[in-house]
Amino acid sequence: MQWTLRRWGPSAALLLATGCGTTSGNNDAGGDSATDGIMSASQTDSQGTSGSSDTSDTLESDSATATGSTGSPTGSTSASSESDTDAPSGSTGVQASDTDAESSTGEAECAAVSAEAELVPLPADIIFVVDNSGSMSFEATEVQNNLNDFSMQIAASGVDAQVVLLSSYPDNGNGICIDAPLGNGGCPDDDTNLPDFLHVDLRIGSHDAWEELVDSSADWSGSIREESSKHVVIISDDDPNISEDAFNTDFLALDPSYEGYFHHSVVSHSDCDSAASIGQEYIDLSIATGGIAADLCDQDFQAVFDALTTAVLDGTQVACEFPIPEPPAGEVLDPDEVNVEIGSAMGALDAIPRVDDVDGCGLVADGWYYDDAADPTMIFLCPQSCATIQGIEDGVINIGFGCETILPG
């Protein structure tokens, strides 16, 4: 997803401006991906686009673009800026412009400062549960050989990912030990490397992957972050003891933040030579949660891990919170002169009202609020507005400073 974030604020020359101009943006997006033999309930294009902005015929400023493709455990953002004229700058790198201008309506422009900001997606936590039974020798070896590349591909995309592995070690059934850099270099019997990698030493039987995952939650829950996108990956050549509904209910009961998790499976889709049983319950839950359902019968783990990498990256959403830049030196931000617009780069942007807090979000169709109304440092989108903008491939957020804040009503 491509995000364009424009932060504007009055420079010393524009503190007396009373009118508000208009802005427009244009973005092009493109890209697709597909993996043969892998079932996916949903596939999202996450490639970025570029943005541009004109404030009037007589005012020209650098546009700010941000690509939501890197990760942070806090979902924070960073800002830097460029300006055609020199002016004092605040701690966020925002520079003020001394250029005055009139809008196309003849009113003085409020927009005076542009900034470039990088929006950072939320982190991803992935739990692998691998069947260690006697028929899983090839599969255990493939997981061991591919997990490092999997984690490095995600890290290279900038997403902050933590991996949990539920499996025995090699001296106990068809166990697994992960070498460095994901592991700690202590194989064959020690590889946990916190915080990036946790190995929970459990021998997973043919039919109990789901049950062991739930029962051992106290051992791995500390590696699952509340704000992360969450993924469960089951790798087995057999079917589960319990139903898809039973597991889903038990898993969601562990923690409210697990709502919206993705279930992925690498299990047998037919009665092939590699199958002990068809893993239909695993397949059904993968489809129901928008995950990947890969066929173990294909025995192509490179394609499987490529598909899982894509699924993790596509499932990572950009945080809907933005730091307020420091005003230019000697100036004071007026929190009642801040406005937020959301929409598509290819269409009109809609100004949304500010509400008092998250409880006020239920009173408006779209909205935003401050972290602290008396002394704000962050802007938060209401949950429904966050969901809207995250669902738009070329979503755009404009944050403008210098015009009276729009309120509900």
Q: Please give the chain's pLDDT, 409 residues, in tens.
A: 333 333 333 332 222 222 343 333 333 434 443 344 565 544 333 333 333 333 333 333 333 333 333 333 333 333 333 333 333 333 332 333 333 323 332 334 554 443 333 456 779 999 999 999 999 999 999 999 999 999 999 988 888 999 999 999 999 999 999 999 999 999 999 999 999 999 999 999 999 999 999 999 999 999 999 989 999 999 999 999 999 999 999 999 999 999 999 999 999 999 999 999 999 999 999 999 999 999 999 999 999 999 999 999 887 776 788 888 776 677 778 899 888 888 887 888 889 999 999 999 999 999 999 999 989 999 999 989 988 887 777 777 888 877 889 999 8
CATH topology of domain 124-314: Rossmann fold (3.40.50)
Domain ranges of the chain: 1-122+318-409, 124-314
Contact 399, 371 (CB under 8 A): no
- Decide the pairing of beta strands 38-40 and 292-295: antiparallel
Compute the distance between CA of residue 209 and CA of residue 231 in angstroms, rounded to an integer. 15
pTM: 0.62
